[in-house]
Amino acid sequence: MHTTVEEVAALVGGRFTGDVGNTRITGVASVGDAQKGDITFFGNPKYLPILRTSRASCALVPEGFDEPITAIPIQVANPSLAFSRVVEQFAPAPVLFEPGIHPSAVVAASARIGEGVSIQAHAVVEAGAVIGDHCIIGANAYVGHEAQMGADCHLYPNATIRERCTLGQRVIIHSGAVIGSDGFGYETVQGRYTKIPQTGTVKIDDDVEIGANTTIDRARFGRTWIGEGTKIDNLVQIGHNVVIGKHCILCSQVGISGSSKIGDHVTLAGQAGLVGHIEVGDHAIVAAQSGVSKDIPAKEIWFGSPAAPMRDQKIILAHQSRLPKLHERVKRLEEKLAGEKAE
């Protein structure tokens, strides 16, 4: 496949200058790997030196970009998003699943299956489950008793939705994810751990995406709740009765202990860990590998373990970096004082 600079600009709503509209674009590539004929994009200032020497024929750049580069620049509002649209033009056609139930799938007679649903090989849909229109249930996926899925959901192979959990519309659950596993609840009785029944559910709102091998525990009672539009990466653990607001981002290996509440538009970066029964305010950011042990106010950035406001942590880190020099100064002062006392 090939296209032209003019056609790309029209596709992404961008603009270019000069008589270069007929320049052929034959592929897509990262800024460092691009060759003649490729289109790339510039979305991070650290890659500017690479872009200046890139062999790409064309580059999607931010509006107002005026750096000298050899590639033909097309200015757009969001280069990364625009590039994804171009990539779609060169990518293979998406895999389509025909509606119907594979002969090897097991679907309970009392399950309600909507129109245009595709249920793949060896999937299991238990009694009382409700599958909305145009859902895709991948191979070996499991939908538990009385679980409900809205329209246009996609369960990838080996995903598990346990009993009585509910999914809104257009929810995507990637392979290996488990929704509704038991919460980690025990009491000590006569020196032995006794399991507390986990009788609640998980509720996932519209347009949520959940990554591979992520686990979301069912509530002890009530519900664990994931808000509309939230995106959860692979290998994330969400404990029982956690509430996560709308349009949050949870990066890989985040762990949230039970009964914590996360506001709207919160970002939890990779490997951040939160203790139970705390609150994180709207639009807050928790930096990577932070350990959060108390409430975080709205719109603040916290970092470290134990986590604290970024502004405070920067001061602490600056002081820590000076400790070796401070140690030497103190040592010299001690030696000087000891010498003066000896005299």
Domain boundary among the residues 38, 60, 90 is at: 90
**Stated pTM of the model:** 0.89
Shared domain for 110 and 13, answered yes or no, is no
Answer yes or no: is 37 within a domain: yes
Shared domain for 116 and 250, answered yes or no, is yes
What residue has token string 């350990």? 291
> Residue 12: which H helix or E strand, with range?
helix 5-12
Shared domain for 287 and 240, answered yes or no, is yes
The DSSP bridge pattern shows strands 186-189 and 267-268 to be unpaired
Judge residue 26's burial from the number of C-beta atoms within 10 Å of its C-beta, 0-12 exposed, 13-18 middle, 19 or more buried: middle
The CATH number that applies at residue 142 is: 2.160.10.10
**Cα separation of 87 and 99, whole Å?**
28
Answer yes or no: is 27 within a domain: yes
Give bridge partners of residue 130 from the DSSP assignment. 112, 148
User: Are 161 and 143 a contacting pair, CB within 8 Å?
Assistant: yes
Shared domain for 86 and 128, answered yes or no, is no
Number of domains in the chain: 3
Answer yes or no: is 7 within a domain: yes
Shared domain for 134 and 58, answered yes or no, is no
Shared domain for 135 and 175, answered yes or no, is yes
Residue 193 DSSP code: E
DSSP characters over 77-94:
S-HHHHHHHHHHHHSPPP
Answer yes or no: is 95 within a domain: no
Shared domain for 170 and 289, answered yes or no, is yes
What pLDDT does residue 340 have? 73
- Mean pLDDT in runs of 10 for the chain (343 residues)? 94 96 96 96 94 96 95 97 95 92 98 98 98 98 98 98 98 98 96 96 98 98 98 98 98 98 98 98 98 98 95 90 91 84 70
Shared domain for 305 and 318, answered yes or no, is no
Which residues are part of the catalytic machinery? 240
What pLDDT does residue 343 have? 66
User: Are 67 and 47 a contacting pair, CB within 8 Å?
Assistant: no
Domain boundary among the residues 90, 108, 130 is at: 90
Answer yes or no: is 291 within a domain: yes
Shared domain for 256 and 330, answered yes or no, is no
Q: Can you give the residue range of the structural domain that contains 125? A: 100-310
Shared domain for 198 and 286, answered yes or no, is yes
Answer yes or no: is 168 within a domain: yes
What pLDDT does residue 300 have? 98
Answer yes or no: is 196 within a domain: yes
Shared domain for 142 and 261, answered yes or no, is yes
Shared domain for 268 and 286, answered yes or no, is yes
> Residue 342: which H helix or E strand, with range?
helix 323-342
What pLDDT does residue 72 have? 97
